Structure 1
Amino acid sequence: MRKQSVLSAAIAVSLVLGTSVVYAYDENFKDYDVYNVNVTADGAKDQYGNTITEQSYYRTGGDVKVITREEIEKRHYRDVTEAIKRVPGVTFQNPGYRGGEYGYQFYNNGVSINGDSRVVILVDGRRVDNAASGRVGNSSKRGTKSTGVNLDEVTTIDAIDKIEVIKGPGASQYGSDATGGVINIITRRGKGGFNSSIDVSTGSWHKHNYNLTMQGSAGKDGNTGYFITATRSMSQDTKYKDGDTGEVVTLGGSKWREQGINARIDHRFNKKQELQFSVNFKAGHDGYPISTPSMKYWNQNDWRRIIANATVGQFDENYKLIQDASYVTPKNPNGYAPTLYGNTKNPGYHNLYALDGRYGSYSQFRNTDLDLKYTFDRQGQLESFVRLYHLNHHYEGRDKYAWYRYGSNANARAAYATAFPNGTTAEAFNAWVDANLAPFPGGDQNALRQWIADTGGMAGAPTSWYNEIKNGIELQWGRSLDKHDIIANIDYSKSKLHTKSIGNTGTINESDVKRDTLYAYIQDKIYIGNNVEITPAIRYARYGSFESTGSGQSQGRGDTHAITPSLHGQFKFNKKTSAYAGWTKIMRPLKRGDYTSVDGIFNTPLDDEKGDAYTFGVRHVFGKNNNTAVAVHYDYTRMKNAVATLPIFDTASGDFKNTAVNAKEDKKSFNITVDHQLNKHITMSASYSHMKDKWMSKGGWVLDPDWGYRNSDDINVAINSLRPQNHYSLNISYDNNRLYSGLLLNWYTGNSTYAFTHRQFLIVDWNLNYEVTKDVTAYVVVNNLLNKAYETSYSTYNGRGSAAMPARSFMVGVKYKF
């Protein structure tokens, strides 16, 4: 009869069968706690090879990587991105600097798993995203499928105990919109007697980190555990390596500072009842460089060309403004040709963004999350609880720049036309540009400082505000009945986004967007003997109408709901081999802009994204001592209603036009990982990932055969050109009691040179720890050891190489426990 703990059963089976699995990939498993049960390395995985965590009872099989607290400390990760970037199939859209622009995916920290950016972020099993948010745009038409969460703003790394990276939908608990996968952050809980630590480090670019942690337990029987951490980090301007020229350049305006405080209190009334309260506060002030300047165009002459074309207009060979009758409008009675924007029309255009950083433009965030959870019953790992949560995420900033001294582009055009109605010489043109338009930021710094002073000075108080608030309640009932583990869960939340901005004329614009969501599911994990688990489930999701107020807002659009079934199973063939398989019905709701607008030649609104996701995997342990393990994972997602902007033939015009439509999509990915324990000191892990995407038209549409995804910066549509096709990773760790060293190699190949500056790049990170005494550890961390130029993000608007990643950097530090 199955009345005992799932965890205890898994450990018992492991011991009885003598099952041994290497831990090189989920590295640094010495011991950790799961609900006050100490788990040693020999019992860290169940008989199927799944790593056991506080949240693992939700899942049945699947490809899951668990990053432990010990690994975080030994590798000295300073944010979540660093911690998970080596996981096969995980890729990031990083802008190359710490700060970001609120509301634009390409300027934020976007993550995808196996080629899909529809990734759900959880903290202790609770969703972090806000259903009313416009953080990653307010439509799904171009690159906005993400849940809109910046991983590195969720919580401080020092408050994290484990990170689960789950590929594919995985389990009903994660939702029908977790197509790509799930990143579940599990926070630390206090235990044992009082102990504390101070961690201080410093390094490249005047980067400094300070961390203080305190934890322990109180009460007669130590039933109240507490964990508190306070963190502060800062850096001056980042340096990057330009992919075209190979120069190492300082990115002006990219300095940042962040701080956070986290506290968690757990009180255990008895073996079945527990109260947990946590508060997470994190805030930051980040620079606003938007992109990294391309050194190919970073010179005085190209600057004059770029800023003149973007501010004044287009010129003929005699520097006369081009006029065309087709351009005549009431606002442009002279018919001057339009100004040139974007990299294609105005190569190096994004270099103008450097002015934003020189003016001290910035973005700020302040997140406060509260979570109160009462567990009223527990059977092994199965929890029955009620949870209340409040998430308040506040963003504000000021983007300031001036291209023309006396106002708008129209004023600049009129002034130039008056000065040179019949054109002029190159010398006179250059002199006019230097006198009237912003000076080259890489040139005379005194002239630049004077320009900033003449155009209003540095960026001051914020002019834009975004406040996301989410309040919710979650109720779960879990029960172990003979050979069934049944979970029923319901989560209801109310989300709100309040925006406010001040225009150039001082006009204040405010608006509110609200949306309610209801998630509910029931699943039954069925144990068939000791070697088979089958988990059928059914999920219901209801997304209420967007209720909006303010200028330009519309009411009551977007009400949608769906029932989505799923089925997952895992099988143990023998002591060394196991397999898993899963299927999930997908429903991802559209965003606000999709419901309230129509697009393109069909002039019809879009429908919610729907489809099916399948996962398959096999694990096998080799060797007499079970010191080598191989895992193969395959994902297949078939969308019948995916949203994309595609070039479709328009019979009326006789040409192809970009149109947002619901199209068919086949997405495939393959991961293989080999873990090997060379000896008691050295472990190795090698992996390979490949992903491919194919889009197909519906209803007889004709797609442009010459398209090749080149006209899109939607990374979901252009996966085959906007991501490396192949990712190889090698992770080697050496642990000899007082000395630990880790070496990580990430090799990306098959890059499109239309989107990347190199067809391949190899990134090497290395760290070394030495335990000076039992309480003092010294360490060094080097990122991008080979000082390679590379990018992880692309925008057609900004062009190739406009998001260069940081150059080689190092940090040295000391951690003291007391």
Structure 2
Amino acid sequence: MNKRQRQVMCSLLSSALLLGTPLATPAEEAADQHEYALDEYVVTANRIPVKQTEIAANVTVITREEIEKGGYSSVPDVLRKSSITLEKNSGATIPLLNGDERVLVLIDGRRMNWSHLVASGSNSGAILDLLAVENIERIEIVRGPSSSLYGSEAAGGVINIITRKAGETRTSVASEFGSWGFKRYNLTSQGKSSDISYLLTAEKKQQDSFEYKDFRTGKIRTHNDSQLDREFLTLRLDKELKGGRSLSLQFEHTEDESGFAGYIHPDGRSEYPGGYRTSLDNNVALTYQWGKDTGANNLLRVYRNHYEATYYNSLFAIDELEATGLDWQQSWKLGEKHTLVGGGEWRQETINDNSSIDESVTTGAVFAENRWSLPSNWTLSAGARYDHHSVVGGHFTSRLTANREINSTTNLYASWGQYVKNPTIAQMYSNTIYWKGNPDLDPEKGQTITLGLNTELGHGTKLQTSVYRSQIDNALDWAWRDWDNNGIEYTKYINVNKQKRQGFDLTLSRQLSPQWNIAAGYTYVKIQNQSSTETAYSNDPRTSQPNGYRLNVEYDQDKLNTGLTLRSVTGRDTSVFSGKSYLTLDMTVNYKCNSDTRIYFKGYNLTNKAYESAASYWSDSFGQRHPGQFPMPSRSFYFGLEHKI
């Protein structure tokens, strides 16, 4: 770090520590409210509530109303509503933002990523399906690097799952049935008395192994060992204190005994016949907030996440992961048009897989971001963060954004941000006969430039678009084959020289009439790699969605809501995918019988297309990868009922 960087960082931290004036609301008209109108504000992009037209980032918000209308049964199902790319392999669903799997997953701002491979083939270390959808108030998706605010893993963006807080006293039950013996039962109870509220959810869902369409033969086959058996129990307790303060206790418990769903051989055999895993998640967090009556998001949080899994008839054995963390965040108003958000984080993570790894890492961080409101509705923000990792050392990341709010429905923005991704504990210390750790790995580092526009074109037509370009150094990748001193073959992770990403995202929506709404989207992603032995960049064949298209048509009239969603992908590399393109069609029908009861019907992959969302990455003994290793389910249907008691 040079002298100038030290001066900037010291200035930011000194401001955060010495200035204690409470932050007034970014929108003065909301100063006397305890809660922001969340349909107008987003918390994740800047760590404080900010109007959507003042955010210098590509942001998608999925509301509670949209979740209910879609009849979704899992968090991945909810995310598929947006243009976000989801790759599914070996029983895991991996989110991609800006074509990047290095995505930070949060629950109410609490980090849920692990420094370990919790699912085969995933470097993100995040489990998406930790909550019943009845717990979710909204999901905020922020594309682009956010390392200056959130640290490692936030290279492609951030997904923040915001949970519901009880607003009334009621109990509801839900049940759902569908293809391949799918069953889901849910009980949600919430209550509020004076300044104390609670929300309790219990859910169980099961499904037999799903079927898929073989792209080689066109026949329907069963994906053996893909069965699902999962239980959720969650509790949220809230206590409102005087002076805009509150205390919140959250607990999430998940038990899972599901098939490992390993990759499929060309002849239909599973790589790990009879493979399944049992896992247990217990997460608890206690959060104290203050300044809520002024629109601030000040908090002090202590949390503990614990995950353990046992694998049977598979490559893995036993995993036990534990994380203890402390988060602090505070906002200050430094002037009429100047605010500062600062804070610190501490986290200790321990990994024990009872076979090759028994390690722990500790990370500590401080961050600060200044935000200025300038003439002509310009907003400028500049932030920096220092992270220290007990193994790989310390590093700075910075971000600079500019936003112009042209009117109440239009804003134009530009941003530049640095990001970092630390190697996982498994990547550094794994020691199996198949996979050797590499303790000499360096963090991935890079920067992204983004330009974007959000506007309303008139007659109910809205446009959201952004273009980005990234440059990554020391990008981590899997070295498919190496040999030890005894001539035994193994794999390991290495730092390749460089990686470039560029892309484009566009969404158009229009309210055709009070009943009809239509939305269309297009995404473009290009990823190129350059290893230390190459002089030129080459296209990454594993890009799962080079060109993505989405069309959604919705009809909403009185008690009936229906929707059709068409998705298509083109331009894929057939060396690792079963085809260059695919097209699927999904359908939802939601009918509200009365104020207490609703029924819904869903159909997925109505075109019965043979496709996969993740590239094939396992090789045979000849070093050849066969496409279609992770097939997606064939046509399926589901029927559900929800009733408030």
TM-score, length basis structure 1: 0.69
Deviation at 1:597, TM superposition (A): 9.9
In the alignment, what sits opposite 1:5? 25
- 1:268-279 to structure 2, matched below 5 A, reads 268-279=240-251
CA distances 1:676-726 after superposition (whole Å, capped 9, x unpaired): 11111111110000011222355xx43599xx66xxxxxxxx2x4542320
Counterpart Cα distance in 1 of 2:479 and 2:451: 30
Residue identity in the other structure for 2:639: V
CA distances 1:600-652 after superposition (whole Å, capped 9, x unpaired): xxx994422222112210122112x4x1111111121112332346899xxxx
Aligned counterpart in structure 2 of residue 261 of structure 1, from 221, 229, 233: 233
Tell me, yes or no, if structure 1 residue 201 matches structure 2 residue 176.
Answer: yes
Tell me, yes or no, if structure 1 residue 210 matches structure 2 residue 185.
Answer: yes
- 1:345-424 to structure 2, matched below 5 A, reads 351=269, 353=271, 356-357=273-274, 361-378=275-292, 380-399=294-313
Q: Which has the higher contact order (CA 8 A, sep 6+)?
A: 1
Residue identity in the other structure for 2:65: E
In the alignment, what sits opposite 1:800? 627
Per mean C-alpha deviation after superposition, the further-off stretch among 375-384 and 390-399 is 375-384
Deviation at 1:50, TM superposition (A): 9.9
Residues 419 and 445, structure 2, Cα contact 8 Å, conserved in 1: yes
- 1:305-316 to structure 2, matched below 5 A, reads none
In the alignment, what sits opposite 2:504? 670
Distance 1:640 1:559, change over 3 A: closer
In the alignment, what sits opposite 1:434? none
Equivalent position SS for 1:573: strand
Counterpart Cα distance in 1 of 2:388 and 2:254: 31
Counterpart Cα distance in 2 of 1:776 and 1:593: 48
Equivalent position SS for 1:764: strand
Equivalent position SS for 1:158: helix
Deviation at 1:159, TM superposition (A): 1.3
In the alignment, what sits opposite 2:15? none
In the alignment, what sits opposite 1:149? 126
Tell me, yes or no, if structure 1 residue 749 matches structure 2 residue 580.
Answer: no
Counterpart Cα distance in 2 of 1:487 and 1:773: 45
Which of the pair is proportionally richer in strand? 2
Residues 186 and 203, structure 2, Cα contact 8 Å, conserved in 1: yes
Residue identity in the other structure for 2:419: I
Equivalent position SS for 2:225: coil
- 1:125-144 to structure 2, matched below 5 A, reads 125-131=109-115, 133-135=116-118
- 1:290-329 to structure 2, matched below 5 A, reads 290-294=262-266, 297=267
Distance 1:9 1:778, change over 3 A: same
Distance 1:767 1:388, change over 3 A: same
Distance 1:529 1:226, change over 3 A: farther
Equivalent position SS for 1:109: strand
In the alignment, what sits opposite 1:70? 65
Residues 260 and 281, structure 1, Cα contact 8 Å, conserved in 2: yes
CA distances 1:193-236 after superposition (whole Å, capped 9, x unpaired): x11211111111111111111113112xxx21211111110011
Counterpart Cα distance in 2 of 1:254 and 1:772: 35
Residues 288 and 399, structure 1, Cα contact 8 Å, conserved in 2: no
Equivalent position SS for 1:6: coil
In the alignment, what sits opposite 1:583? 416
Deviation at 1:467, TM superposition (A): 1.0
In the alignment, what sits opposite 1:696? 530
Distance 1:722 1:529, change over 3 A: closer
CA RMSD across the alignment = 3.1
Deviation at 1:590, TM superposition (A): 2.2
Residues 243 and 804, structure 1, Cα contact 8 Å, conserved in 2: no
Distance 1:217 1:473, change over 3 A: same
Tell me, yes or no, if structure 1 residue 607 matches structure 2 residue 434.
Answer: no
Residues 264 and 270, structure 2, Cα contact 8 Å, conserved in 1: no
Equivalent position SS for 2:353: strand
CA distances 1:223-280 after superposition (whole Å, capped 9, x unpaired): 2121111111001121111111111112223222111011111111124211011101
Counterpart Cα distance in 2 of 1:227 and 1:676: 36
Counterpart Cα distance in 2 of 1:134 and 1:785: 33
In the alignment, what sits opposite 1:527? 373
Residue identity in the other structure for 2:57: G
In the alignment, what sits opposite 1:636? 469
In the alignment, what sits opposite 1:769? 590
Residues 119 and 181, structure 1, Cα contact 8 Å, conserved in 2: yes
In the alignment, what sits opposite 1:116? 100
In the alignment, what sits opposite 1:541? 387
Counterpart Cα distance in 1 of 2:554 and 2:44: 19
Aligned counterpart in structure 2 of residue 516 of structure 1, from 337, 343, 362: 362
Residues 176 and 585, structure 1, Cα contact 8 Å, conserved in 2: no
Residues 47 and 297, structure 2, Cα contact 8 Å, conserved in 1: no
Deviation at 1:8, TM superposition (A): 5.5
Gaps of 5+ in 2: 1-20, 432-437, 482-490, 620-624
Deviation at 1:91, TM superposition (A): 1.8
Residue identity in the other structure for 1:207: F
Tell me, yes or no, if structure 1 residue 242 matches structure 2 residue 219.
Answer: no
CA distances 1:311-355 after superposition (whole Å, capped 9, x unpaired): xxxxxxxxxxxxxxxxxxxxxxxxxxxxxxxxxxxxxxxx2536x
Aligned counterpart in structure 1 of residue 86 of structure 2, from 92, 97, 105: 92
Tell me, yes or no, if structure 1 residue 479 matches structure 2 residue 344.
Answer: no
Residues 24 and 295, structure 2, Cα contact 8 Å, conserved in 1: no
Deviation at 1:112, TM superposition (A): 1.4
Per mean C-alpha deviation after superposition, the further-off stretch among 673-682 and 576-585 is 576-585
Equivalent position SS for 1:687: strand
Residues 215 and 611, structure 2, Cα contact 8 Å, conserved in 1: yes
Deviation at 1:666, TM superposition (A): 1.6
Residue identity in the other structure for 2:524: H
Distance 1:574 1:662, change over 3 A: same
Deviation at 1:284, TM superposition (A): 0.9
Gaps of 5+ in 1: 13-33, 101-106, 138-142, 299-350, 402-462, 501-508, 545-557, 649-656, 710-717
Counterpart Cα distance in 2 of 1:541 and 1:759: 41
Deviation at 1:575, TM superposition (A): 4.8
In the alignment, what sits opposite 1:554? none
Equivalent position SS for 1:791: coil
Distance 1:272 1:768, change over 3 A: same
Counterpart Cα distance in 2 of 1:735 and 1:207: 28
Deviation at 1:3, TM superposition (A): 6.7
Aligned counterpart in structure 2 of residue 680 of structure 1, from 503, 507, 514: 514
In the alignment, what sits opposite 1:252? 224
Residues 44 and 160, structure 2, Cα contact 8 Å, conserved in 1: no
Tell me, yes or no, if structure 1 residue 497 matches structure 2 residue 497.
Answer: no
Counterpart Cα distance in 2 of 1:120 and 1:658: 24
Deviation at 1:371, TM superposition (A): 0.6
Counterpart Cα distance in 2 of 1:789 and 1:248: 9
Residues 92 and 792, structure 1, Cα contact 8 Å, conserved in 2: yes
Residue identity in the other structure for 1:515: V
Residue identity in the other structure for 2:126: V
Per mean C-alpha deviation after superposition, the further-off stretch among 604-613 and 274-283 is 604-613
Residue identity in the other structure for 1:353: E
TM-score, length basis structure 2: 0.86
Equivalent position SS for 2:589: strand
Tell me, yes or no, if structure 1 residue 561 matches structure 2 residue 545.
Answer: no
Which of the pair is proportionally richer in helix? 1
Residue identity in the other structure for 1:189: K
Residue identity in the other structure for 2:302: L
Counterpart Cα distance in 1 of 2:202 and 2:492: 49
In the alignment, what sits opposite 1:169? 145
Counterpart Cα distance in 1 of 2:343 and 2:125: 24
CA distances 1:410-456 after superposition (whole Å, capped 9, x unpaired): xxxxxxxxxxxxxxxxxxxxxxxxxxxxxxxxxxxxxxxxxxxxxxx
Distance 1:796 1:236, change over 3 A: closer
Residue identity in the other structure for 1:687: G
Counterpart Cα distance in 1 of 2:236 and 2:147: 27
Distance 1:757 1:489, change over 3 A: same
Counterpart Cα distance in 1 of 2:534 and 2:35: 60
Aligned counterpart in structure 1 of residue 74 of structure 2, from 59, 76, 79: 79
Aligned positions, number: 601
Distance 1:286 1:50, change over 3 A: closer
Equivalent position SS for 2:613: coil
Deviation at 1:761, TM superposition (A): 1.0
In the alignment, what sits opposite 1:618? 453
